[in-house]
Amino acid sequence: MILVLLGTFVAVFKRPLIEIERLCIEGIINEEVVVQSGYTTFDESMHLKLTPFFSPQELTTLHLKARLVITHAGTGSIMNAIRFKKKTIAIARLAKHDEHVDDQQMEILEEFAHRGYILPWRESDDISIVLAKAEQFEPAKFNSGNSKIINYITAYIDKIK
């Protein structure tokens, strides 16, 4: 099963759905595709199972069941996929398509891709090629950096005592 997460931002985000639907029609994707669509409607789909919002428990169940996660490049959605150790493809919402107020998701996409945690799906990329790469993709082990932050804060507190 492929889990698709479009995020909860109020702007419509149809670009990934159009491409995923096309791949289903062409037979390139031939498994269940479950979509948390947020505020995006996509009535023209015959292959995608769209639900606006799932509860946290439902999302956990879907993450556990998913073979692959395709998500908008929001930090929360990417981090959940990483936490569940899922192969993840991320696509940024872009301001030029009125999908977001700015292009901050591009920075998030590039940073997580650079670190090897996700596969990026950039606007110029053919999703079928990205999907093929996902078959062999092994995400890098996530390193949160929490210990560095804790050590920094502890050292600072120790200095001011």
Cβ–Cβ under 8 Å, residues 10 and 76:
no
User: Residue 155 — pLDDT band, cuts 50, 70, 90?
Assistant: confident
pLDDT digits (tens, 9 = 90+) for 15-25: 999 999 999 99
Number of domains in the chain: 1
CATH number of the domain where residue 58 is located = 3.40.50.2000
Helix (H) or strand (E) holding 70: strand 68-72
Residues facing 87 on adjacent strands = 68
What is the distance between the alpha carbons of residues 151 and 127, in angstroms, rounded to a whole number?
41
Cβ–Cβ under 8 Å, residues 39 and 103:
no
Question: By three-state DSSP, how is residue 111 classified?
Answer: helix
Residue 78 belongs to domain spanning = 2-160
User: Residue 1 — pLDDT band, cuts 50, 70, 90?
Assistant: very high
Helix (H) or strand (E) holding 68: strand 68-72
pLDDT digits (tens, 9 = 90+) for 21-47: 999 999 999 999 999 999 999 987 899
